[in-house]
Every structure is written in structure tokens, then in C-alpha cells.
Amino acid sequence: MLKTTVAKPAGRNVAAGMTGGLGYFLDEEGDFEDRVNAEIVTVQPIRTLAGENQLRALIQDHVERTGAPYSTSHSWCCES
């Protein structure tokens, strides 16, 4: 399964060619769901600790490979 993480604005054609894939998109403006093609994409927030851990691992891998200045200390779900 293709997995991708996007930390910048994404447009209407996002996920084209990702049939069966999974994408994590940073939605700082809160309008991602309005801009995505709902006919081909299901949008949902991270709801489980497993999903959060998967995203954290993808970001950490990116940081280690590229030296990018991102932090994985943020919690996206399941905050106590």
C-alpha cells in the first residue's frame, strides 16, 4: 500500500493514482475536505493511536533521511 505524507496545501487532484493508498495531509487552513475530490477520496481524521504512530514514523523517517526541520512531538489524536 502506498503511503504518503503532505505538509503543504493539496488540491483537487490529490490522490490521483493512489488507488488503495493512504495519505496524511496537514490541513492548517481547515479546508482540505472542501478542496478534495470526494468521488475518489475518503477524508477522515486520525482516530487511533496506531494511526498516529504510523504518521509519526513516516515523519521521523523523512526527518532522518533529509534533515528536514519537522518535529514529531505533536499529538494528533488520543490526547489525554
Which tens digits make up the pLDDT trace of 32-68?
A: 888 887 888 888 888 898 988 888 888 888 888 888 7
* Nearest in space to 37 (alpha carbons), one of 55, 53, 19, 14: 14
Q: 74 or 67, which is more confident?
A: 67
pTM of the model: 0.68
Quick check: 80 pLDDT over 50?
A: no
DSSP 15-77: TTT-TT-EEEE--TTS-HHHHS-TTT-------SHHHHHHHHHHHHHHHHHH----------S
The pLDDT, as a whole number, for residue 72 is 61
Q: Tens of pLDDT along 8-25?
A: 777 777 777 777 888 888
Query: Grid coordinates standing for 52?
Result: 498516529
